[in-house]
């Protein structure tokens, strides 16, 4: 018995083949709401993977957004309200301004 393996190179190793396959699948979705939800889920996965790979660098959603656009060859634009809400919600700079000092 022989297993068929995908031996094509991964475009961005820090995200892995599964994220690359999820982006390829999301680009084929016809429903806009489903595509937006998938983009948000992929962005969360990519941010988590990027934090594991690059512990010293800040991996914000702006970088993840650029990488999604690059990996999808421009088919996914990440301009849905769901993705914008995710970026605003998890913006580390916004969190610093809103925190108060404890006495």
pLDDT at 51: 79
Measured at the alpha carbon of residue 6, what is the angle toward residues 65 and 68, in degrees to the nearest 5? 5
pLDDT at 100: 52
Assigned token pair, 101:
């000092």
54 contacts 79 by C-beta, under 8 angstroms: no
Instruction: Answer yes or no: pTM beyond 0.75.
Output: no
Show the low-confidence residues of the chain (pLDDT under 70). 1, 57-59, 90-103
72 contacts 27 by C-beta, under 8 angstroms: yes
pLDDT at 82: 82
pLDDT at 25: 93
Q: Hey, CA dihedral for 33, 75, 45, 91, is it positive or negative? A: negative
- Residue ranges covered by each domain of the chain: 17-89
Assigned token pair, 77:
């634009």
The DSSP string of 4-46 is: ----SPPS-TTT-HHHHHHHHHHHT---HHHHHHHHHHHHHHH
Q: Taking Cα atoms as reference points, which of 6, 37, 3, 84 lies closest to residue 45?
A: 37
């Amino acid at each position: 018995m022989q297993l068929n393996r995908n031996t094509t190179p991964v475009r961005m190793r820090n995200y892995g083949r599964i994220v690359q396959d999820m982006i390829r699948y999301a680009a084929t979705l016809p429903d806009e709401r489903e595509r937006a939800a998938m983009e948000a889920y992929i962005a969360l996965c990519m941010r988590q993977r990027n934090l594991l790979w690059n512990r010293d660098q800040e991996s914000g959603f702006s970088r993840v957004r650029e990488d999604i656009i690059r990996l999808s060859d421009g088919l996914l634009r990440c301009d849905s309200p769901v993705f914008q809400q995710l970026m605003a919600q998890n913006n580390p700079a916004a969190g610093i301004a809103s925190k108060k000092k404890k006495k």
